[in-house]
């Protein structure tokens, strides 16, 4: 069944940012925007994303208590857009891509990848970490849209950000782990970084930079915390020499046959928005 036109229209029309919004994003390393996606959009796409996540859960059948720290944090599935044409509509939509481009200040943005991150009932914390240590990108012009698929009270484990931490060079080589949780929590105290954790209403979307410290609490509710994320990068983003196996794994997953130093413009990283 084709997606109703009112849904297609809602995900492609602009959401207007103020210059204060852009300044806040650049100073804080994140922004939490209200009412980015209408309820009807989330009610339409949530069951599709949930079905794909369930069907392709790489750890299906493993009990929560038998999972490691990462597995307890969330069920993770990458590039849902390749599974379903309707998810492609959402992941490729202009409303979110334009927001990403205006926040990071580029002429246009490409997709890096999308993923679903479902925290099971009683699921564990997402340890403090930075995203960009996984990405072989030669600049910090990237941003993740975090899109909860239900209203998300604090006890369900919404994202929590270290305000302004993208400018502090903390734990940039530490992969997400018990160690990253401990090291970053200590650094946050020492540097007096303010932690911002607030509930998300349905339709709220946050955007955070690749170097922003962030975590999420556990899910203390009996419902799954369903979230979808889309990672955008500058349309001119170049592939840098890898510093770790994680970055090499990302190159293999997302960067096609891009040569070192070249623009990452393979079939998995299409341009999603370009200002006229």
Instruction: Give the shortest CB-261-to-ligand AKG separation in angstroms.
Output: 26
Q: Does 117 bind ligand AKG (CB under 6 A)?
A: yes
Query: Cβ closer to ligand AKG: 13 or 179?
Result: 179
Query: Cβ closer to ligand AKG: 106 or 209?
Result: 209
Query: Cβ closer to ligand AKG: 117 or 184?
Result: 117
Q: Does 227 bind ligand AKG (CB under 6 A)?
A: yes
In the list 146, 207, 232, 273, the residue contacting ligand AKG (rule: CB under 6 A) is: 146
Nearest to 11 by CA among 38, 31, 35: 38
Q: Does 142 bind ligand AKG (CB under 6 A)?
A: no
Structural contact between residues 132 and 175, judged by C-beta atoms closer than 8 angstroms:
no
Query: Cβ closer to ligand AKG: 215 or 238?
Result: 215
**Which residues are CB-contacts of 246 (< 8 A; sequence separation ≥ 6)?**
133, 134, 175
Query: Cβ closer to ligand AKG: 11 or 216?
Result: 216
Q: What is the 3-state secondary structure (H, E, C) of the chain?
A: CCCCHHHHHHHHCCCCCCHHHHHHHHHHCEEEECCCCCHHHHHHHHHHHHHHHHHHCCCCCCCHHHCCHHHHHCEEEECHHHCCHHHHHHHCCHHHHHHHHHHHCCCEEEEEEEEEEEECCCCCCEEEECCHHHCCECCCCEEEEEEECCCECHHHCCEEEECCHHHCCCCCCCCCCHHHHHHHHHHHHHHCCCEEECCECCCCEEEEECCCCEEECCCCCCCCEEEEEEEEEECCCEECCCCCHHHHHHHHHHCCCCCCCCECCCCCCCEEEECC
Query: Cβ closer to ligand AKG: 159 or 237?
Result: 159
Q: Does 131 bind ligand AKG (CB under 6 A)?
A: yes
Q: Write each residue from 50 to 89 as x if it is in contact with ligand AKG (CB under 6 A), else as -, in one continuous string.
A: ------------------------x---------------
Instruction: Give the shortest CB-123-to-ligand AKG separation in angstroms.
Output: 9
In the list 216, 233, 239, 264, the residue contacting ligand AKG (rule: CB under 6 A) is: 216
Instruction: Give the shortest CB-117-to-ligand AKG separation in angstroms.
Output: 4
Q: Write each residue from 158 to 197 as x if it is in contact with ligand AKG (CB under 6 A), else as -, in one continuous string.
A: ----------------------------------------
Q: Does 135 bind ligand AKG (CB under 6 A)?
A: no
Q: What is the CA radius of gyration of the chain?
A: 18
Query: Cβ closer to ligand AKG: 11 or 159?
Result: 159
Name the site residues for ligand AKG (rule: CB under 6 A).
Answer: 74, 117, 126, 131, 144, 146, 214, 216, 227, 229
């Amino acid at each position: 069944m084709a997606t109703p036109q009112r849904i297609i229209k809602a995900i492609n029309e602009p959401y207007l940012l103020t210059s204060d919004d852009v300044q806040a994003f650049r100073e804080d390393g994140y922004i939490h925007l209200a009412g980015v996606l209408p309820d009807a959009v989330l009610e339409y796409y949530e069951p599709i994303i949930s079905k794909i996540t369930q069907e392709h859960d790489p750890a299906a059948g493993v009990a929560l208590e038998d999972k490691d720290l990462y597995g307890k944090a969330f069920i993770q599935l990458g590039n849902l857009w390749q599974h379903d044409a309707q998810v492609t509509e959402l992941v490729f939509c202009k409303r979110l891509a334009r927001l990403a481009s205006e926040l990071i200040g580029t002429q246009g943005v490409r997709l890096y990848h999308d993923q679903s991150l479902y925290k099971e009932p009683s699921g564990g914390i997402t340890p403090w970490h930075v995203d960009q240590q996984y990405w072989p990108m030669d600049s910090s012009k990237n941003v993740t849209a975090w899109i909860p698929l239900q209203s998300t009270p604090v006890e369900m484990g919404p994202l929590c950000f270290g305000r302004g931490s993208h400018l502090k060079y903390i734990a940039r080589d530490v992969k997400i782990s018990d160690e990253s949780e401990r090291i970053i929590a200590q650094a946050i105290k020492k540097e007096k970084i303010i932690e911002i954790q607030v509930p998300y209403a349905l339709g709220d979307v946050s955007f955070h930079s690749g170097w922003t410290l962030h975590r999420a609490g556990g899910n203390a509710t009996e419902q799954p915390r369903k979230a979808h994320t889309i990672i955008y990068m500058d349309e001119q983003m170049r592939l840098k020499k890898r510093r770790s196996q994680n970055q090499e794994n990302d190159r293999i997953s997302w960067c096609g046959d891009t040569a070192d130093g070249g623009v990452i413009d393979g079939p998995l990283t299409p341009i999603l928005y370009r200002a006229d």
